[in-house]
Structure 1
Amino acid sequence: MPAAVWVLLAILLIAALVVAAGASRLHRLSRRVGSFTCNARARGNPATAFTLGVAHYAVGRIEWYRCWSLSLRPARTWVRDRLTVTGRVPLDQAGQPDQYLVTCRYDDVDFELSMSTAAYAGLASWLEAAPPGRRDLVL
């Protein structure tokens, strides 16, 4: 076989392995107990697209992972004591039933999350279950 065929086969094999690793990572993240689909974007520019992601409740924090990444580390981590929900809007009128646009503040940085109604209920409960003196995290 010519060398060009071997190079092409090697490139195809590497591409298949990368796709398989990414799919495996996403499957593992979404199947963990305490995980939910949660898209994020910076606040201020509504034309900015959401970044697809999966969030996971950890001890005292939420870890957020990008969907299309091979990294095993979270892209963002929000500690419960420093995260505040400042508002929420149902996205029914935007053609997305059972979805909320949740505005949050973390260390004086505003951002938005898009999540299901059930995921928002879990987030609000998790924030309200904070230790005494820090239960003002949901407005």
Structure 2
Amino acid sequence: MPGVVWVALAIVAAIALVLGVGASRARTLSRRVGSFACSARAAGTESWTAGIAQYAVGRIDWWRVWSLSPRPARTWYRERLELIGREEFDDDGPAHYLVRCRYDGGDIELDLASGDYFGLASWLEAAPPGRQDLVI
């Protein structure tokens, strides 16, 4: 019986450690300069994946909130990302936009706070000369 207790305690400790590392990772990502909350999904699907995006030189790196991976789950390069539409969500909270994007011929949807959307649009518009087709 005492062996079972130790095994149970070890399992509880391992779960607590994984949850602690995951929460610490999410907090660290959200505090980086240029990071913003950004849920994403493939266009036409129902389920959102909560994430944190961060501006980098010529790209946006996107991490899933609840993951232990040290690498971003997605990377969207500025020259291949295009905003194709947006609409405001109908809710009573702060303004949020459903933003439709096209990346390498595939459509994705992002859930962004209004300030984050305008930051993304500005970042795309600030592309090098010759790329005025990125924002509608």
Q: Given the two structures, how large is their TM-score scaled by the length of structure 2? A: 0.96
Matches of 1:97 and 1:135 in 2, distance apart? 30
User: Which secondary structure does the structure 1 equivalent of 2:53 belong to?
Assistant: strand
Q: Which amino acid aligns with 2:35?
A: S
Aligned residues: 136
Matches of 1:130 and 1:98 in 2, distance apart? 26
User: Following TM superposition, by how much is the alpha carbon of 1:96 offset from its aligned partner in structure 2, in angstroms?
Assistant: 4.8
Deviation digits for residues 86-113 of structure 1, max 9, x if unmatched?
Answer: 000011x244541000000000000100
Q: Given the two structures, how large is their TM-score scaled by the length of structure 1? A: 0.94
Matches of 1:51 and 1:58 in 2, distance apart? 21
Matches of 1:107 and 1:13 in 2, distance apart? 43
Residue 90 (str. 1) matches residue 84 (str. 2):
no
Deviation digits for residues 19-52 of structure 1, max 9, x if unmatched?
Answer: 110011000000000000000011123xx11110
Residue 35 (str. 1) matches residue 32 (str. 2):
no
Residues 96, 105 of structure 1: alpha-carbon distance in 2 compared, 3 angstrom cutoff: farther
Where in structure 1 are there 5+ consecutive unaligned residues? none
**Partner in structure 1 of residue 79 of structure 2:** 81
Matches of 1:122 and 1:57 in 2, distance apart? 10
Moved over 3 A (4+): 94-97
Where in structure 2 are there 5+ consecutive unaligned residues? none
Q: Which amino acid aligns with 1:34?
A: G
**Partner in structure 2 of residue 9 of structure 1:** 9
CA RMSD of aligned residues (A): 1.1
> Quick one: percent identity of the two aligned structures?
60
